[in-house]
Structure 1
Amino acid sequence: MSATAQDVTEEGATGSKVNKRIALLIAILALMLAFAEIGGKNAEQDALARNIEASNLWSFFQAKTIRGTTLRTAAEAMEVELAGADDPATRERLQKRIDGWKATIARYDTEPETQEGRKELIARAKAAEARRDISSARDDKYDIVSGLLQIAIVIASAAIITGVGVLAWTGGGLGLLGFALMVLAELAPTALF
């Protein structure tokens, strides 16, 4: 075998080895992309569920507020009626009704044992909103990760076709950046942006 033929064979073997490494890089990037897509979809679904939870809690809060306002108005109207009543039995019956309504109003404002008073509903709704915001931030980061990994796969694929090693390194670098952002999405989703 001549020196030129041997050089071509060695160059082909080296090129084949490099292409195998780049193909392995692409496979790893594709695996990371699959995980990023799953993580993003889970975060999106969790954000939606938390948003519905918060919306339901705020609706319940509004219903309690409306009920309380209605009872407060009725109690005030009955207090006016009580002031004009002369019959002791009627006064007692009206006062009992007013006291019952005031107790219900107080229960609507706070009900620690069931966590369904207005004060408790506010806290629960805000907590659901905070969890929604975290899931939404996680979803946003996963969207960026997916984009980075898709670009990394395209660039690494171009390295096989063109034989330009810098493209493989660039794809690997974008993959590392995507991996770092994926870890950040899980551990500190509200960090950075």
Structure 2
Amino acid sequence: MTSATPDITDGKNKRIGLLIAILALLLAFSEIGGKNAEQDALAKNVEASNLWAFFQAKTIRGTTLRTAAEAMEVDLAGVTDPAARDRMQKRIASWQATFARYDSEPETNEGRKELIVRAKAAEAQRDISSARDDKYDIVSGLLQIAIVISSAAIITGVSLLAWTGAGLGLAALALMFVAQLAPTALF
């Protein structure tokens, strides 16, 4: 026989079910945030790597030009023909100007000095995104545990388990805000 009065455990189980649904929604947001942070960290790592490779290429080119200019300066000492001396001095000046441009080129932001700044900025962004991803991983773990513990509350009827699941969910929500707003805070 069924009772006409609602069972008190039905209302309790519905609230726990709603808690589990909210925890699952937060878990979905956490997984999305973590995946986005992971992809951003990977993209920034590639960008930094490319910028450092470009820096190295500029350094090699500059060293080659500087060496050639120095060798030509040595050769210039033995040249007596004024036209040949003039051509050699112009070539040396051209190579030195090119080397100076390789060292710093603010108009294109592609000189060695500018590349260092850009590469370090990309590395800093990579580190922030990586820290964000780490926090989201912890958030996801907390939410998964909260869902399991809350589910156990329905089976066992122990309300403390539901409260523990809710507490873990609140801790995960707080850490989710930290991950988004201050990813390098805490740990």
Cα distance, 1:116 vs. partner?
0.2
Aligned to 2:58: 64
Q: Return the TM-score normalized by structure 1.
A: 0.94
Aligned to 2:25: 31
| Identity fraction in percent | 78
User: Any residues of structure 2 matched to 1:32-51 within 5 Å, and which?
Assistant: 32-51=26-45
Aligned to 1:105: 99
**Does 1:131 find its partner at 2:101?**
no
Aligned to 1:172: 166
Aligned to 2:113: 119
Aligned to 2:77: 83
**Does 1:20 find its partner at 2:34?**
no
Q: Match of 2:117, SS?
A: helix
Q: Match of 1:84, SS?
A: coil
Q: Give, as a single letter, the amino acid of the residue that structure 1 aligns with 2:113.
A: K
Q: CA RMSD in A?
A: 1.2
Counterpart-to-counterpart distance in 1, 2:112 and 2:184 = 29
Cα distance, 1:13 vs. partner?
1.4
Counterpart-to-counterpart distance in 2, 1:109 and 1:138 = 35
Cα distance, 1:122 vs. partner?
0.2
Q: 1:150 aligns with which of 135, 144, 147?
A: 144
Q: Match of 2:7, SS?
A: helix
Q: Give, as a single letter, the amino acid of the residue that structure 2 aligns with 1:176.
A: L
Q: 1:73 aligns with which of 58, 67, 79?
A: 67
Higher helix proportion, which one? Answer: 1
Counterpart-to-counterpart distance in 2, 1:14 and 1:83 = 103
Gaps of 5+ in 1: none
**Aligned residue pairs: how many?**
186
Aligned to 1:160: 154
Counterpart-to-counterpart distance in 1, 2:7 and 2:75 = 101
CA deviations 1:95-123 (Å, max 9, x no partner) are 00000000000000000000000000000
Counterpart-to-counterpart distance in 2, 1:32 and 1:166 = 21
Q: Match of 2:148, SS?
A: helix
Q: Give, as a single letter, the amino acid of the residue that structure 2 aligns with 1:60.
A: F
Q: Return the TM-score normalized by structure 2.
A: 0.97
- Which stretches of structure 1, 4 residues or more, deviate above 6 A after TM superposition? none
Q: Give, as a single letter, the amino acid of the residue that structure 1 aligns with 2:118.
A: R
Q: Match of 1:102, SS?
A: helix
